[in-house]
Structure formats: structure tokens, C-alpha cells
Amino acid sequence: MNPHIEDFQRDGAVILRGVFKDWIERLREGFEQNLAEPSAFAIENVGSGESGRFFEDYCNWQRIPAFTDFVLNSPAAGLAGELMGSQQVQVFHDHILVKEPGTAKPTPWHQDLPYYCVQGLQTASYWIPLDPVTRHNTLSVVLGSHRWPKPVRPKRWASNQDFYGATDADGQNLFMDMPDVENGEYQILSPEMEPGDAIVFDFRTVHGAAGNTGTNRRRAFSTRFLGDDVRYVQRPGRTSPPFPGINLSDGERMREDWFPVVWQRR
């Protein structure tokens, strides 16, 4: 049995050391192509007067050959399936993030799931650094936060405004506020990592990252995968990614022509 499965289920996150070392150059190649040819979803998170550059883009795995290769041929989908305890795995989307040297802007604490058009317990997101990271610019995750009683209110990173309305049609609060995780009794994992390492976490796991005030780039590549129990959910506003024209109703399985099955248990 994979020794990481119990840790992933209990903590909502696990570190995999060296599993993608043979894929780093391929991912760097795709990353630079993505930077040179950004999609319509590309976002610059550093405003005027702020230092550095914090750039992100997503949903490019079908147009960037290196990312296609990784999604279809790397161990990522199979490892995700094992960790989730799923019989099959669909790819959801990819995501690149770069913080250039001297970038003060952090990635705020958040959960991914409230931003997405999916609901379910079997989810897995990879964060794969393409440059060495220290405890000062790594991804940090709040262990056990995937079991919190309510999803955390999603915010816009640039403005800190609510991403959606705060209540449903009946006036019930949809989300809880983010606790002060840095000053409470929470277990935070902030690992030093080398290219080839990865953090895998549940979409519900709270995570964030400091800025990158050092002298080296901090590039990270993410892929998100869906397991057996994931279903479409209509959020109270535009999701991120938005997936316009998805044409699904609450509770339906995610369509395989958009989100192909990339691994099945034998």
C-alpha cells in the first residue's frame, strides 16, 4: 500500500519527493512557451507601484505540448488516483504561477474548491516547483483544513473583495471567514523543495505562499485532477476558471469531452 495515502486522507496534503525529476525540463519548456504565448485567462497580480511580477495562467494543457505530455504520460494522474482512492481520474485543468525576484505580493490563504464549478471529496491538486524553494517562498498548507465544517469565503487576490455574494437565496451564509491561521493552533506545512518534488493537496485544503523577495525566480506548475465522486455545482457567480458554455446542471458528472479520463484503476 502507498504509505502516502493515509497521510493524504488525514492531513489533506502530502509531499512527494523526486517523483517528477525527469519531467522538470519538459515542464520548464512548456512554462516558457506559456509565458511567451499567454491565454485569455492570464492574470498579472502585481499592481502599479508594487515591486516584481506575480503572473498566473491556466487551462493551457491542451495547447502547450509539454503540458499535454505531462498530463497524459507522467505519473501524476495515477498517483492522484491512488491518493484519492478513486477508480478513475479526470483532468480538471492546469495552472502556472511565477513570482519573479523582488516580488513582495503574497498568495493569500485560500481554498481552491470555492472558486471552482465542482463539488466532491476526491480531488487532488499538484504544486510542482520548477526552481528550488525555501521556507520563505514555498507553498504553505494548513494540515487538516480539508475537514473544516464550511468552505472558506473566496476572495479576489488583487483587491481582497468577495468573489461571490456572501449568502444564498435564503439568506444563509455560504462560507466561513478565514481564521487567523498564522496565529492560531494550526499545523502549517512549509517545506523546502527541489525541482522534481511536489505537494499534492485536496481542493479543500487551505494554502498560501509568501512573496518572493530573494534573487531567484519561483516558477510553479500545477495540475488538478477529479475523482469518482466529483460533480458539477453552480456557484453564485463566475468561477475561476470560468468554463463558459459548459452546459451542466447541479449534480451532473463532469463532461469527459472537456475533462478527459486520464487514468483508470486496473
Tens of pLDDT, residues 193-233: 999 999 999 999 999 999 999 899 999 999 999 999 999 99
Report the share of the chain in percent with pLDDT over 70: 97
8 A C-beta contact, residue 232 and residue 118: yes
Task: Examine the pLDDT at 256 and tell me if it is beyond 70.
Answer: yes
Instruction: For residue 155, give every residue at least 6 positions away whose Cβ sits within 8 Å of its Cβ, in sequence order, or none.
Output: 108, 110, 161, 162, 163
Q: Calculate mean pLDDT across residues 69-84.
A: 98
Which has more confidence, 207 or 155? 207
* Secondary structure E strands in 104-201: 107-110, 118-119, 123-129, 139-142, 188-189, 198-201
DSSP state of 77: H
Tell me the pTM. 0.94
Average pLDDT over the chain reads 93
Going from the C-alpha of 160 to that of each of 14, 95, 171, 207, the distances in angstroms are: 28, 21, 22, 16
Structural domains of the chain, count = 1
Please, which pLDDT band fits residue 262 given cuts at 50, 70 and 90? very high
Task: Examine the pLDDT at 129 and tell me if it is beyond 60.
Answer: yes
The residue range of the domain holding 167 is 3-264
Closest CA to 211 of 133, 110, 125: 133
Query: Which pLDDT value is given to residue 166?
Result: 63
DSSP state of 184: S
Rounded CA gap, 187 and 179, in Å?
13
Q: Calculate mean pLDDT across residues 61-79.
A: 98
Query: Could you tell me how far CA 212 lies from the centroid of its own chain?
Result: 18
8 A C-beta contact, residue 76 and residue 85: no
122: CATH: 2.60.120.620
Residue 56's DSSP bridge partners are: 43, 97
